[in-house]
Amino acid sequence: MTPPDALPDPLPPPDPDRRSLLRAAGASLALATAAGCDVGPQEFGSPLYAPARGADAASAGLRRYATVLDLDGLGRGVLVRARDGHAIKIEGNPRHPASLGATDVFLESAVLALHDPARSRRLRRYGRVERDAALFARYMAEQRAALAATGGQGFRLLTGPIASPTQRRLIAALLAQWPGARWHVHAPLADAAAAAGARLAFGEAVTPLPDLSRATTVLCLGADPLGPGPAQLAQARGWAEARARGRQAGRLPALIVAESTPSLTGAKADRLLVLPPWEIEALARAVAAELGVAAAEGATHPEAAALAASLRAAGAEACVLAGRGQAVAVHALAHAINATLGAEIPCIADPNAAEAGTLEELSDAVAAGQVTHLLVLDANPVFDAPAPLDMAALLRAVPHSLHAGGQVDETALACGWHLPLRHPLECFGDSRAFDGTAALRQPATMPLVEAARAPEELLGALAGLPGDGLALVQETWRGVWGEAFAENWLVALEAGVIADSATPPQVLPLRADFALPSATPQPSTPVALFAPDPNLWDGRFATEAWLQELPRPLGNLAWGNAVLMAPADARAAGVAEGAVVELRLGGQTLRAPVLVVPGQAPGVVTLPLGGGRRAAGGVPGAVGIDAYRLRPAASPWLAEGLQIRATGAEAWAERGAEHALAGDTPRVRRLAPDQAVPPLPPPRSLYPDWTYPGHAWGMAIDLDTCIGCNACVVACQAENNTPVVGPEESARGRAMHWLRVDRVVTGTAEAPQVDYQPVPCMHCEKAPCEVVCPVNATVHDHEGLNLMVYPRCIGTRTCSNNCPYKVRKFNWAGYARQADAVPVRNPEVPLRPRGVIEKCTYCQHRIKGAQDVARQEGRALRDGEITTACQAACPTRAIHFGDINDPDSDVSRAKSQGRNYALLGNLDTRPRTTYLAKLVG
Amino acid sequence: MSGAEFTTRPVSDPPLREDFGWRFAGAVAGAGLLTLLLAYAVVALLIEGTALWGTNIPFVWGFDLINYVWWIGIANAASLFAVVLVLRRHGLRTAVNRFAEAAALAAVAAAAIYPILHLGRPWLFYWTFPYPATYQVWPNFRSTLVWDFWGIMSHVVVTGLFWYTGLIPDLATMRDRAVARSRMVQARIYGVAALGWRGSVRHWARHQAAYRLVAAMVLPMLVSAQTIVALEFATTLVPEWHQARLPLHVVATGIPSGLGVVLALAALLRGGLGLTRYIDDDDMRLLAKLTAAAALACGYLYAEALLVAVLEDATTRQAIAARAFGAYAGLYWGGALLVVVVPQLLWLKRAQIQARWAVPIGIGAAAGVWLDRFSLVAGGLLRDHLPNPAPLYVPTVPEWTLLAGTIGLFALLMLGFARFVPVVSMYETRHEESEADVP
């Protein structure tokens, strides 16, 4: 038994306002500088060390730390760029299997969450700030003593999904210490059907680990492997590799997608079937029947024969994936088809799988009066649990409740006590990736919130285990490595990944007695389909201004979400895009704006989860709709009995179209593998051509591999201090993104062809913007960059008028310096004042930085040494950047392909940024 | 009418009158209040920035450019009108020249505010001047905005000179009459402004030469100034703007608007200051017919725009269609109605003379051109090379405030003109009368 004060004393809380936060940050900076940049202040106990191998030591004060950030409990390795002790930018860790050097929007925004002024900073009692830290320590001691006396009877731990070895070890220790205690896991986006399907097929609840890089035909049954999620980066990379090989071989791999609501995977599909969920199941059965899966015998579907034929042709190189929200039978059939085809999809046990109860069981236990103590660790059930459970009332029924979390969220306000948690970038820990690969989490900055504790420390203190977070993590790995700990520890920290720690995958045979549950009857339409929000995920990212302002892949929506309806359904309900409808489901009602999307299955209304947070830190008010309020506990993904009523209100007026316009050369070109883009007529100009004796920077964006994930957009925003303008200004069309991803829809409403096209500055050779600026504020540099001279700009905006690509953004207000501006800034890029135009610079500071390093080392620049922020983030490596004067550079090789073309090439602006046409088989 | 009866006193008396009556005081108070509003709008803009406006990407220009182009159009048309009359020694010039020139000058003053205020950083407007800066950075002479700077500077200078040169003999008359009334302060001010005019034959000869020379200078420049404004649009890659016809359209539609304002002012002055004798019915008829004819010419341009669209490439055709039938279609057709159709009423004899007809039609023509400019600046962007899902441009209260403010400034300047200088050229009236006396 540990002494009652085992939980470290939180320091007295600092003054709440923002200024003092900045003062605190300034003080941390001063401390860091005094300590020589790489060692944090000792009172926080977390020295910063072990920069990643290959970190550019040449630039003083700049460090990269390899660490890991979790999504849904599964880790993705990152390199954190820190300047003078401050984490300023997240980049992917090439060695980590769940990152492979790329990032997604959630990873990119982690630095913003770290620096969020609205982070939880103080202890709270019933939602109110409690300044007496000793009171909390006393309370904890008393309760621990009381629980120790009863063997933890009545103690419940509620967490999100946890794969971290250390956290699991501590929870196990806690449960061992208190036999009466129980652990419950609440994962709003977990899908029990996947495990049930695997059990049906293999007898074990395993997760498939498809290697899309070797698949030549992929059938997605509602699966979205290219969409956001813990394995997105690896799967997207795999798909892109298969695609690249297919391009070279002249035989493109086939991606066949059957989906009910548009997804990123659906946009890349070579064949897209828009089907409601019950028809997807029917299709899965019919395809299985065609391929000889005995259990599915007799099922038919008009599309099945063709799909079965292509799967059969691919044989062992086929891969069938079932997605979130699909019926158990679909998951089971996906496994069965793979097994029948001999596709040998490796499977592992879900790293998140745990011997833990569910939220419903916790709810029942509370109702039965069995729970006296509840610790909610880094979860927000009051917001993201199905509404019928009424978590707020549940928490009120528990005599002693403690919420530990990084934000003062809905659950923090509903619990008796709230303890701020450290951000993952501030503390030691570890995690497992989707494939089981373990990685160490290390602080990349000094802790910015004094009162905050690491989750490991809290669990350790409860379990009576001594030591801080570092000691607890080391203890875990000392147990794994034994004698080799000393040598392995630093290696693992530096690499950001623990070598050979992936769970060994196994290929399981189909159960001999494989049988399917009876087919799901067709429900009465419309049905509600619940889906995670592409920007807010389950709602935990609602506090990130970058993600709120990021236009969603669908409908260009920022600062708010909408329900998705098929054009036919919208017509039937008598609503147009932007109209507000009232949705009624299971006695709950919700008013929500409508987005009419081609590619949505008729009869299916998609309700995005994660919006409408009532307590989301600094983000003002409730942004968007909260679909959790309609979500039934029994069927969390698909609910029958949805009623839709038009209200006559309008959320936004009709906006300009995102569709391609008739009469233009298609902006996204499509080619057969053996075709080439026809060359443009020779350019003419009154002005002499520029000459570039040295370097000439250029970019090529491969539209065949771009999946429209938006990672580049957030990476650009983080790198270039692009300001957040807020919901009002964003609605006025003043968002500042230097890089945008345009969604180009062609085809019909039932069979849309969706393309994503990232549009940065084109750095035109004959830049129309340069000619019209009256004061020479936008000029051509000696390496061909089209640059803005901010101090010279007087803000006529005429350059934006003359830019056919509309990539120039104007500081209508002093966004970067206003009081609620985003608190994280890259010191290498200036903040732009009010009244000037800004735009993509090809990350000119990175170019100059690399040139400086090369010059100091007395060598020429190497190709690939300079990566732009967007390029580094891209999971499919669709962005190529480099010196087009060098014929052997990556970008020159990309541009020399026959599918290279300029956007609006007919205007003869001669863009440096070109596109590689999409290939169609 | 005989020479003995004829006098220019009704023209020269008002500036020397002590009191102008409560109506005038009320008008000055109203215009002054609006001008104060302008001051407020400008200060608010300088403090808050252009975020106050409804502009965005791609609608980067809004009321700033719409009102600028509109005011310049009024100024140019009014000057053009005055110049043509002077050069052709038209009888009407005596009647309306003076205030046509004054209206031009006041409109230029109202217009000149916008190019400065529309900047993101207005305090740096002087960077468009070619001055020897320390870093030897010069303006970009390829930029139409720099051309426009020269255009508007020349316009201010030449319009000012034109107005002032024509005023000199009358200022001398004012000086003499002020002396006669022993109003020595006014006499001194008028005297200085009259540049020592003594009315010698040599003075008259020089004056006439100078006046006609300045008028000749104004003529080509007015066309070029309007054209340069139009080139700010026509030289861009925006499909609807990028048309060779645009300068002609902007110059031509400016004419009925300027004439309309002059017509309205003439009708008001005639009634308000009792100058029926000096701005007689024939003058009004001529002015009205000119306005109606200019409007008819604009009708041809509107028709041509739509007809030519058929021959254009698909992008331009869609852009023209988007402007004429898209979200801002009301502005386009409203403009066509007020500029082309309504002024045709001025062919009616009654409408030509009566203020209650002439004033609304004249102001309506000006308003129509304003709608046309709005349709050009905002509606012209509806169809760009790439689709842009941005909200449409809608002017905000600060923008309306700014417009109201510049109208107040224009009115205040015109009222000041009516108060302090003779509104009709006295020497030309005398000249005309004496010519009429010659048997």
User: What is the average pLDDT score of chain A?
Assistant: 87
Residue B282's CB is within 10 A of a number of other CB atoms, namely: 13
A343 and A311 Cβ atoms separated by less than 8 Å: no
Q: Which residues contact B188 (CB under 8 A, 6 or more apart)?
A: none
Q: Nearest CA to CA, how far is B208 from chain A (Å)? A: 39
Query: Beta strand A254-259 with A347-349: parallel, antiparallel or unpaired?
Result: unpaired
Q: Do A775 and B232 touch (CB under 8 A)?
A: no
Q: Is A798 an interface residue toward B (CB < 8 Å)?
A: yes
Lowest mean pLDDT: which of A4-8, A161-165, A234-238, A468-472? Answer: A4-8
User: Average pLDDT for residues B189-207, to the nearest whole number?
Assistant: 90
For residue B430, is it within any domain? Answer: no
Instruction: Test A797 with B49 for CB contact under 8 angstroms.
Output: no
| Confidence (pLDDT) at B269 | 73
CB nearest B386 (choices: A771, A804, A834): A804
A354's tokens = 């745990």
| Rounded Cα gap, residues A334 and A317, in angstroms | 14
Q: Which of B60, B139, B237 sits opposite A810 (nearest CB)?
A: B60
Q: How many CB atoms lie within 10 A of CB A26?
A: 10
Interface of A with B in 408-467 (CB under 8 A): none
Lowest mean pLDDT among A60-69, A242-251, B133-142: A60-69
Burial (CB count within 10 angstroms: exposed 0-12, middle 13-18, buried 19+), residue A9: exposed
Q: What is the pLDDT of residue A26?
A: 43
Contact A83, A111 (CB under 8 A): no
Least confident stretch, A318-322, A677-681, A746-750, A812-816: A746-750
When mean pLDDT is compared across A265-279, A329-343, A663-677, the lowest value belongs to A663-677
Query: Hey, of A744, A794, A803, which one would you mutate to test binding to chain B, going by the most B CBs within 10 A of its CB?
Result: A794
Q: What token pair was written down for A698?
A: 């250029």
**A653 to B386: CB separation less than 8 angstroms, yes or no:** no
Candidates A664, A796, A804; nearest CB to B119:
A796
For residues B236-271, b (16+ Cβ closer than 10 Å) or e, as one string?
bbbbbbbbeebbbbbbbbbbbbbbbbbbbbbbbbbe
CB contact under 8 A, A768 and B236: yes
> How far is residue A206's CA from residue A199's CA, in Å, rounded to a whole number?
7
Three-state DSSP class for A109?
Answer: coil
Domain span at residue B35 reads 27-424
Q: Assess if residue B306 is contained within a domain.
A: yes
Does B233 score more than 90 pLDDT?
A: yes
How close, in Å, is residue A161 to chain B by CA atoms? 39
A361 membership: H or E segment, kind and range: helix A359-367
A72 to chain B nearest CA, in Å? 33
Q: According to the model, what pLDDT value does residue B284 have?
A: 83
Which of B118, B120, B381 is nearest residue A836 as measured by Cβ atoms? B120
A430 near A68, Cβ under 8 Å?
Answer: yes
DSSP B121: S
Q: For a pLDDT cut of 90, what percent of chain B falls above it?
A: 34
Please report the pLDDT score of residue A276 as a whole number.
93
Element at A438 (helix H, strand E): strand A438-441
Domains of chain A: 4-121+422-495 (3.30.200.210), 202-336 (3.40.228.10), 527-650 (2.40.40.20), 703-873+895-919 (3.30.70.20)
Highest-confidence segment of A640-644, A722-726, A746-750, A878-882: A878-882
Contact A792 B137 (CB under 8 A): yes
Which pLDDT value is given to residue B93?
66
Dig out the tokens for B194 from the structure. 């009259």
Give me Rg for the CA atoms of chain A.
27
pLDDT value of residue A468 = 86
**Predicted confidence (pLDDT) per residue in A145-167, tens digit:** 999 999 999 999 999 999 999 99
pLDDT at position A658 is: 45
Query: Which residues, at least 6 apart from B332, have a Cβ–Cβ distance to it below 8 Å?
Result: B323, B324, B371, B372, B375, B379
pLDDT at residue A695 is higher than 90: yes
Which one has a higher pLDDT value, A840 or B215? A840
Model pLDDT, residue B278: 66
CA distance A539 to A381: 11
Both tokens of residue A13?
Answer: 């809380």
**Can you tell me the distance from the alpha carbon of A258 to that of A324, in angstroms, rounded to the nearest whole number?**
13
Restricting to A residues 653-682, those with a Cβ less than 8 Å away from any Cβ of B are 653, 655-664, 667
Q: Please judge whether A732 and B50 are an interchain contact, meaning their C-beta atoms are less than 8 angstroms apart.
A: no
Q: How far apart are CA B435 and CA B280, in angstroms?
A: 17
Give A730→chain B minimum CA distance, Å.
Answer: 10
Give the residue from A465, A379, A421 showing the smallest Cα distance to A166: A465
Q: How confident is the model at residue B226 (pLDDT cuts 50, 70, 90)?
A: confident
Report which residue type is found at A740: R
Contacts of A741 in chain B (CB under 8 A): none
Residue recorded with tokens 């492979």: A100
Closest CB to A806: pick one of B57, B121, B124. B57
Q: Which residues of B touch A729 (CB under 8 A)?
A: 51
Chain A residues with beta carbon closer than 8 angstroms to that of B143: 771-774, 798
Which residue type occupies A45?
G
CA distance A658 to chain B (A): 6
How many structural domains compose chain B?
A: 1
Tell me, yes or no, whether B15 lies in a domain. no
In this predicted structure, what is the pLDDT of residue A847? Answer: 94
What was the pLDDT predicted at A10?
A: 37
Cα–Cα distance for residue pair B17/B27, rounded to 1 Å: 17
Give the closest residue to A481 by CA, choosing from A499, A502, A463, A457: A499
Interface of A with B in 821-860 (CB under 8 A): 833-837
Binary contact (A802, B390; C-beta < 8 A): no
- For B425, phi then psi, to 5°, come to -65, 115
Residue A869 CA to residue A479 CA, distance in Å, equals 39
Distance from CA of A731 to the nearest CA of B (A): 7
What's the confidence (pLDDT) of residue A102? 95
Cβ of A794 within 8 Å of Cβ of B392? The answer is no
Q: Minimal Cα–Cα distance from A456 to chain B, Å?
A: 47
Query: Is residue B390 in some structural domain?
Result: yes
A819 touches B at CB < 8 Å:
no
d(CA A233, CA A873): 10
DSSP state of A576: -
Minimum-distance CB partner of A733 among B56, B61, B382: B56
A282, A296 Cβ separation under 8 angstroms:
no
**A686 to chain B: closest CA residue:** B142
A30 pLDDT tier (thresholds 50, 70, 90): very low
Q: What's the Rg (C-alpha) of chain B?
A: 23
Minimal CA–CA distance to B289: which of B69, B104, B90?
A: B90
Q: Do A664 and B315 touch (CB under 8 A)?
A: yes
Of B149, B318, B392, the CB nearest to A661: B318
Q: Which residue has the higher pLDDT, A25 or B289?
A: B289
| C-beta atoms of B124 and A794 within 8 A | yes
Nearest by CB to residue B238, choosing from A801, A809, A903, is A801
Quote the Cα angle for B369-B373-B375, to 5°: 110
Q: What are phi and psi of A375, to 5 degrees?
A: -110, 120
| Closest chain A C-alpha to B419 CA, distance in angstroms | 38
- Chain A closest CA to B350's CA: distance in Å? 46
CA-based torsion, B320, B326, B328, B330: positive or negative: positive
How many angstroms away from the CA of B265 is the closest CA of chain A?
A: 34
Q: What 8-state DSSP symbol labels residue B382?
A: S
Give CA angle at A914 (A908, A920), nearest 5°: 115
pLDDT at B9: 66
Interface test with B, best of A801, A806, A808, A840 (most B CBs within 10 A): A801
B364 in a domain, yes or no? yes
Q: Taking a C-beta distance cutoff of 8 angstroms, is the pair B331, B323 a contact? A: no
- Residue written as tokens 């596709």? A343
Given a cut of 70, whether residue A16 has pLDDT beyond it is no
CATH number of the CATH domain containing B162:
1.20.1630.10
The β-bridge relationship of strands A604-609 and A438-441 is: unpaired
Give the ipTM of the model, two decimals please: 0.88
User: Would you say residue B1 lies in a domain?
Assistant: no
Could you give the CA distance from residue A900 to residue A910 in angstroms, rounded to a whole number? 13
Does residue A789 surpass a pLDDT of 70?
yes
Cβ-defined contact of A835 to B50 (cutoff 8 Å)? yes
φ and ψ at residue A303, rounded to 5 degrees: -90, -10
Classified as helix, coil or strand, A407 is strand
CB contact under 8 A, A796 and B392: no
Q: Are strands A62-71 and A74-83 parallel, antiparallel or unpaired?
A: antiparallel
What is the pTM for the complete model shown?
0.90
CB contact under 8 A, A792 and B317: no
Distance separating alpha carbons of residues A479 and A191, to the nearest angstrom: 32
- Amino acid of residue B346: L
In this model, does residue A672 exceed pLDDT 80? Answer: yes
The b-or-e profile of A363-383 (16+ CB within 10 A means b, else e) is bebbeeeebbbbbbbbbbbbb
CB contact under 8 A, A657 and B387: yes
Per-residue CA distances from B36 to A287, B24, B386, B400 (Å): 77, 18, 42, 14
Mutate to test the interface with B, among A732, A759, A802, A818 (most CBs of B within 10 A): A732
Helix axis angle, B426-437 relative to B144-180, nearest 10°? 70
DSSP at A860: P
Query: In the structure, what pLDDT confidence band is assigned to residue A334 with cuts at 50, 70 and 90?
Result: very high
Say yes or no for a CB contact (<8 Å) between B49 and A837: no
Count residue pairs from A and B with Cβ separation < 8 A: 166
Is B241 a member of any domain? yes
CB contact under 8 A, B61 and A811: no
In chain B, what residues touch A659 (CB-CB under 8 Å)?
Answer: 387
Helices (H) and strands (E) counted in chain A, each on its own, are 27, 37
